[in-house]
Amino acid sequence: MPVVLPRPFRALLVAGLLALGACAGTDEPRADPRQAAGPASMARPRTDDFGLEIPAGREFTRVVSLEPAVTEIVFAIGGGSRLIGRSRYDLYPDSALRIPVAGEGIRPNVEALIALRPDLVLLYAANDNRAVAERLRTLGIAAVGFRSDRIADFSRVTLELGRLLGDTARAAVVRDSVQRTLHRVARATAGRPRPTVVMPVWHSPLYVIGGGSFMSELVAIAGGRNVYDSTAAPSPQVSFEDVLRRDPAVVLVGPAGRARLLRDATWRVLPAVGRGRVVAYDTLVTGRPGVRLGEAAVSLARLLHPDLALDHR
């Protein structure tokens, strides 16, 4: 049975740092934040990806965001001036670099957060962060957790952030802009041959991007097919023998991973490697489900279909 990337590595994956550390762990379940449509559901409070109620009717002016994709969205919807803290992985946009580092994305120091006097803390909704969210809430600090595994989650999270920060119209504009680019790339690649792809994200043991990840969806939009797209996990552990059996036409990997893979004699057995079809993608663009999802789709489409004329519009 496939397993998912260990917890710390999953957090780094969200941050787009696909070449960094791992240790033992399991996947974290999350509550379904969606409610059924209709008048009855309108009266029910919305919940975050911890399953905790999202605060409503409050104005937040001192915000800490410890999730890189969320930080991107906050800036995109005009909330950057409210940010007083970020994680060390929040590197986009450039304005984020002027925000002080407030803590880690996983198990941040609660006392350090309290000292900043935030009125809202945005967390990555891993089980390891649930206790942090609950403690902050007992102190009167709003804490909300989001987790984006699929592209649809980006749209949902963007609108929820718009509600939290009081600008749902701008949030909808950001969502629609990203969706238009994704649709444009999908139309441009429709009808083309779809090269099969494997995306290794950790080498020992070997983890790859599975069908439960937004990155697998991006590959499909970009005109490829992930050979592990039928695997439900976002990042299953697999054997090299299984990769060899599936015989992908292209290996998509981050720059550091590409250099390591090309030095590995085992991988040279894979026909795609022998044909020089080991392609590096930008992990900071493609490795996070933020406002650059459209740009990521364009970038991957160019890698898989070099003759395709696409821009980032």
The helix or strand, by DSSP H or E, that contains position 123, with its residue range, turns out to be strand 120-124
The pLDDT tens digits of the residues spanning 28-39 come to: 444 444 443 344
Residues in the chain: 313
pLDDT at position 40 over 90: no
Rounded (5°) CA angle 144-149-151? 105
Name the one residue in this structure whose structure tokens are 């029910």. 44
The pLDDT tens digits of the residues spanning 155-165 come to: 999 999 999 99
Amino acid at 256: A
Q: Are strands 225-226 and 250-253 parallel, antiparallel or unpaired?
A: unpaired
Task: Enumerate the domain spans of the chain.
Answer: 37-183
Q: Are strands 63-65 and 83-86 parallel, antiparallel or unpaired?
A: parallel
Amino acid at 58: R
Token reading at 41? 């559901």
Per-residue pLDDT at 312:
55
Query: Quick one: DSSP state of residue 116?
Result: T
> Collapsing DSSP states into helix, strand and coil, what is residue 196?
strand
Token reading at 117? 């006097």
Kindly indicate the confidence band of residue 3, based on its pLDDT and cuts at 50, 70 and 90: very low
Q: Is 275 exposed, middle or buried (0-12, 13-18, 19+ CB in 10 A)?
A: exposed
Q: Residue 203's closest CA among 228, 240, 231? A: 240
Q: Residue 293's closest CA among 173, 183, 212? A: 183
CB atoms within 10 A of CB 55: 18
The pLDDT tens digits of the residues spanning 176-227 come to: 999 999 999 999 999 999 999 999 999 889 999 999 999 999 999 999 999 9
> Collapsing DSSP states into helix, strand and coil, what is residue 266?
coil
Token reading at 106? 């996983």
Q: Does the 37-183 domain belong in CATH 3.40.50.300?
A: no
Q: Do 230 and 213 contact (CB within 8 A), yes or no? A: no
